[in-house]
Chains A and B, each alone.
Chain A
Amino acid sequence: MTTPSVPAMMTRLLLHPTVTLLCCLGLMLSSLPASAKTLVLAQISDRPKKDFRQLRPMADHIQSLMAHQGYDRADVELFPDIESLMSAIRQGRVHWVSETALTSAKLVQAGLASPVALKWKRGQAEYRSLIYVRKDSPVETLADLQGRRVAFEHPNSFSSYYLPAIALKQAGLNLQQLDTPTSSVAPDKVGYIFSRNERNNLLWVHKSIVTAGSLNDGDWQHPQRLPESPKQAMRIIHRSAAFPRAFELATSVLSREERQALKKALLSLSPEEHANLLARYEQTERLTPVTQEHTTLLQQLDLSILP
C-alpha cells in the first residue's frame, strides 16, 4: 500500500489506522456465530507487505483444515510491537502467532499463548547468535567492547538482541542504548544501537561506524543475505548456544479443542507434500512438535535484562 522506498518508521505510523480497523473487524466477527468465524494469524512486523504475503497462504490452508471448528475464513494481522500484539490477544482478536523465541517467551510468560509447533524457519530448527568485529579490530574478547559501540538488529530480535545482550551482560559489561550509530558511549559501558537489518549490521561494522555487530548464524551463513567481501573482513568473537528458531503459538483466545485442532493442523503438514506451502511460509522446512525443553526455555527465559 506504500512504495517500497518509504521508510519502515513511516510505514508503521501509517499502519495504525489499518490495524485499528482490523481490530474492530475482529471484534465484530468474534461476536458472530461459529459459522462465521475468522482464523487470525498474527506476527510482529516492520515489513507488513512482505510478511503478509508470506503468511497468507498458510493461514488460508490451516483455516481450511480447521473449518470444522467453524473457521470459514482466515486473516493475517501484523503488529508493530509486542505491546499491540498482546493487547490484540487480550481482546481476543488473534488466534495464532508465528514468532521467534523472544516474542514467544514474552507471550508465554504473559500467559497469552502456548507453543504448538517448532517452526523450522529458513530451514533452521535452531540457531546461534554471533558477535563479530573487523579482522583488523583490536577487540579480541567481549570485554574489549567496553566503551565501544555494538550494533544489534532489532529490539524484537532473539538472536541479534536478546542473546548478544545476555552474552555481554554475562561478560560483565553494562549496556547503554544509543540514539544514533554515531552517538558517543560512556567509557564504562557498551553502547548499542539497532541496525534494523543484518545488512546494516555488517556494513556498520565494516565501515567502522560501530565496533561490533551481532547476527544469527543462519543469516551469516546464508550466501545471499550478506555481501561476501565485508563478511570476509570480519572476525567472530562470540558464538552463543543453539536456540529454537521459531514457534507456532496458539493464543489464549482459542479453546482447548481449537488449540488441539490448530496443533494437529500444523503438524499435519508434510515437508514433502506441502513443501511449496511451507517454503512460502517464511522458507519453513517443516513443522515439528514442541518438546518439553522448548516449553521450559520459553517459560524460563530471563526477560528482565531487556529494557
Chain B
Amino acid sequence: MKVRLLTSLANRLTLGFTLLACILVAIMLVTLHHSLNRFTEDTIQQGKQQLAEALRAQLEQDAQLLSRTLSSHLSIPLYHLDLSAIEKQLSLVRQHRSLEYAYLFSREGRLIHDGSETIPEFGLAMKSLTPLSPEADLHFAWHGRTLHLLQPVMTSSQRSGYLALGVDFTQALTALDRHGEVIGASAEATSENTFNELFLIALLILAVTIWFMYRFCRHQFAPLQALTEKSIAFGEGDRSVRFGVTQSGELGLLGKALEQMRLSLEQSHRQTTQLAYLDNLTQLPNRHWFQQSLERLLELSRQNQQRMGVVFIDLDHFKEVNDTAGHDMGDLLLFEAAARLRNLLMEMDISAPDTEEPLLARLGGDEFVTLYPDLQHTEQLSELARRIAQTLDEPFLIDGRYFNISSSIGITIYPDDGNSSSEILKHADIAMYAAKQSGRNQYAFFSMQMNHQLQQRIETIQGVRTALDQGHFHLEYQPVVDLSTNRIRAAEALLRWNHPERGLIPPGLFIPVIEDSDLIEPVTQWVAQQAVRDLMTLQALKPGFAISINISGAALHQESTRDFLTDLKQREQVPDYCLSIELTETSMIRHLDDCRQTLKQWKDAGMNIWIDDFGTGYSSLSYLHQLPIDGLKIDRSFTRDLKPDSSNSLVATVLTLAESMQLQVVAEGIETDSQLECYRRLGSRYGQGFGLYRPMPYNDLKALLETTDEVHTATS
C-alpha cells in the first residue's frame, strides 16, 4: 500500500506539498506561539508595571493625604507638646497594620513621639529612624514596598516639627502582584486559547489546502494517470486503447507521441502478425495461424460435442506451372486459386463460429486447407470437395495465358479421424495424397489404410534413395521388333528395383512414387546414363541399334533434365537417332509451349521423340502436328482390344493417321500371335510385347543380339 501510494506522481507531489506546508505551518505556528507569548508577557509586564506605578502613585497620594491630614492634626498638640494627644493621633493611624511607623519629630529633628505609650525612643535623631531627612527636601521615598514620608508640621506658618510615616504597602502590592498574576494567568489563558484557535484554523486551512492540492494534483495528473493506465492496458494486450488526449501542452504532446507510438507499434505488430501468421502471397492465414485456429476450433467442437471437417487441398500439376511458366506465374495462379477458394467459402457461408471469417489457410506451396465446423453429415464435406474441385478445375487466365490445373482433396473428420490438431491435419494430408495417388482431380476421405499406404510410400521413397546410392536399380530392356523382318530394331529401357530384402519390387509400386517426388530427376538421370552406357556398348555390336528411355511429365518440364540429356548425348557421342525419348500424351499436352521447346532441343540434338501409351491420354491431333514427334507407341489397351475378325478401325485409323503424318508406329502389348498377325495385317511396322520379347537384362539383350539373327516369331 505504502509503495503503491508513493509510486503515484500525484501522490508524491501531494505528499511533498503536504510536508512542505506542514513544515511552513509548523514554523509559522512556532513563531506565532513565540510572538504571542512574548506579546502576552510584555503586555502583562507593562500592565503590571503601569498598574504598579498607578497604584504607587495612588498610594503616594493617599499616604501624602494621610500625612498632611495627620500633620495638621498634630500641629497644635505639637505646639503644646501634648504627648497624650499626639499619642492618640498617632496610635489611631498606627492601628493600621500597614503603617510601619509614625514618628513625630521636633523642629530640630529629635523624636517627640512614636505613638507608643511610653515613647522609649524619645529624643532619637531623625536619621536613625527614617531614611528621609528635611535637608534633602524629599517628601517621600520608596524603600522596597515601604513608602517613607516626611511631612513638615506647620504651626502658624512656622515649621514646628516633622511627621515621618512609613507605610508598608506590601499587602497592596502583593495584592497587585496577585492581581497581576491573575491577569497574567488570564492573559496567558486567553493567549493559549487564541493560539489554540489559530492552531485549529491553521490546521483547517492546512487540511483544506492539502485537500485542494490533492485534488489539483489529481486533476493535473489525471490525463497522465489515464495515459499510464492506457499504456498498462495496451501493454497487457488491450488493442482497443487510444492515447488521444484532448489537452494541450506537454500532456497533449505526450498523448500524441504515445498515440503515434501505438500506431507504429500496431502497424509493426500487424506486419509481424502478417509475417508470423499470414501468408505473404495470398494474405491467407499461414500454417502457424491455422494450427492455432484448428486447436481452438477443435476445443470448441469438443466442448460443444460437434464434428468438424478438415479439407486439405493440393493443386495438381502446380509444380509444372512453376517449372514451365515461371514462379511469377505460379504465384499469380496461387493468388487466384486462393481468391476462388475464399469466395467459394463465403458463398457457401462456411466460416469459423468465433470469428465469422472464412477458414482458409495456405499451408505452403500449393497446399490449402479449410475447415467445416459443426458438421452435420459427411455429404456436406463431399459437396464442399466437389465445389472446390469444380472451382479449381476452371482454367486460370493469367497474363493472357490459360492454365489448367486440378486439385486433389483429402478430408478428415474430427473426432472420427483423430483428436489432436496435428493428427487431424496429418491425416488430411494423407487423404489428399491418397486422392492424388488415385489419379488426381479427386477427393478422398481419410481411412486408416491410407495411413498404411503412406507408410509404404515413405518407405519407398527412402528405399529409392538407398537404391540409387547402393546400386539396387538396374535396367531391363524390352526389344522392339520390326514386324516385317522380325529383327530387333530397338529396345525400351525399363527401370527395375531389386530390393535386397523384398526382392524385385513391381514397377507399378515405386514408379508413381518417384514421379511424384523430387527423386524423379536423379532417377531419370541415372536411367539415362545407364541406358546410354549400355547403348554405346551395343552400338559396337550392332550399329544403329536404338534404345528408348521414358521421361515422366515431371522430368520433362525440368530444364536440368532437358539439358542433361542433350549434354549426355553429346558427351557420350551417341549416334543420332539411336537415343529415343518416350513421353506420355498427358505430360506433353499440359504445358505445350515448354514441351515444344524441350522436344525441339532434343530433336535438334539428334534424339527421337516417341509418344508413349498413345490413345489413353488427352489427345489432340494438332499437337501431333505441332510437336517434332517421330513416332507413336499404340497403348497396350488397343492391342488387348484387337479382334482378329473385325476391322479394328480405331487402330487402323491411328496407323493411317501416323502414316499420313509420316510418323512411325510401335504397337505395344503384343502378347499373342493373333495380335501380332493383326498388326502385321494392319500395317504396323514395329511391335513390342511379351509375345515378342519379355524385358530382359542387358547381358541377355546383348547375348540375344549377338547370337540371334533377330528372327523371332510369336510362336517360337
Residue numbers of A with Cβ under 8 A of B are 4-10, 180-182, 196-197, 199-200, 203-204, 206-207, 209, 227, 229-230
Contact = CB atoms under 8 A, between A and B. Distances in A.
Contacts of A206: 118
Interface residues of B, number: 19
B76 A207 contact: no
Contacts of A181: 80-81
A225 to B, nearest CB: 11
B118 A180 contact: no
A206 to B, nearest CB: 7
A204 B81 contact: yes
Contact of A5 (B79, B81, B88): B88
A9 B84 CA distance: 14
**Which 9 residue pairs of A and B lie closest in terms of their CB atoms, listed nearest first?**
A199-B84, A7-B76, A181-B81, A227-B117, A203-B83, A207-B122, A227-B118, A200-B84, A200-B83
B118 A7 contact: no
A1 B118 CA distance: 30
B89 interface: yes
B85 interface: yes
Name A's interface SS.
Answer: loop
Nearest to A181: B81
A9 B83 contact: no
B123 interface: yes
A284 B83 CA distance: 28
Contacts of A182: 81
B111 to A, nearest CB: 10
Contacts of B117: 227
B711 interface: no
Contact of B83 (A4, A6, A10, A199): A199
Contact of A229 (B79, B92, B118): B118
Contacts of A10: 76
Given A9-B76, A181-B80, A200-B83, 17 more contacts: A5-B73, A5-B88, A5-B89, A5-B92, A7-B73, A7-B80, A7-B82, A8-B85, A10-B76, A196-B80, A196-B85, A203-B84, A203-B118, A203-B119, A209-B81, A227-B118, A229-B118
A207 B117 CA distance: 12
B131 interface: no
B88 A4 contact: yes
Contacts of B87: 199
- Interface of chain B, main secondary structure: helix
Contacts, number: 49
B664 to A, nearest CB: 188
Contacts of B81: 180-182, 200, 204, 209
5 contacts: A5-B73, A196-B85, A203-B83, A203-B84, A207-B123
B85 A7 contact: yes
B463 interface: no
Contacts of B575: none
A180 B73 CA distance: 18
Nearest to B77: A7
Contacts of A9: 76
Given A5-B92, A229-B118, A197 B80 contact: no
A111 to B, nearest CB: 35
Interface string B77-108: 10111111101110010000000000000000
A230 B119 CA distance: 10
Contact of B84 (A5, A6, A197): A197
Contacts of B79: 180
A303 B624 CA distance: 214
A4 B92 CA distance: 10
Interface string B109-120: 000000001110
A196 B82 contact: yes
Contacts of A8: 85
Contacts of A5: 73, 88-89, 92
B119 to A, nearest CB: 7
Given A7-B85, A200-B84, A207 B119 contact: yes
Q: Which residue of B79, B81, B87, B92 has the most chain A CB atoms within 10 A of its CB atom?
A: B81
A7 B89 CA distance: 10
A203 B83 CA distance: 7
Most chain B beta-carbon neighbours within 10 Å: one of A6, A197, A199, A230? A199
A68 to B, nearest CB: 44
A246 B79 CA distance: 32
A15 to B, nearest CB: 16
A197 B86 CA distance: 13
Contacts of A4: 88
B76 A200 contact: no
A92 B488 CA distance: 224
Nearest to B79: A180
Nearest to B86: A200
A206 B76 CA distance: 21
A227 B84 CA distance: 11
Contacts of A209: 81
A196 B87 CA distance: 14
Interface in B38-96: 73, 76-77, 79-85, 87-89, 92
A50 to B, nearest CB: 13
A208 to B, nearest CB: 8
A133 to B, nearest CB: 17
A200 B86 CA distance: 10
Given A10-B76, A207-B122, A207-B123, A196 B84 contact: yes
Nearest to A209: B81
Q: Which of B73, B85, B88 has the most CB of A within 10 A?
A: B85
A9 B85 CA distance: 12
A200 B118 contact: no
Contacts of B119: 203, 207
Most buried by B among A182, A197, A207, A209: A207
B85 to A, nearest CB: 6
Contacts of B82: 7, 196, 200
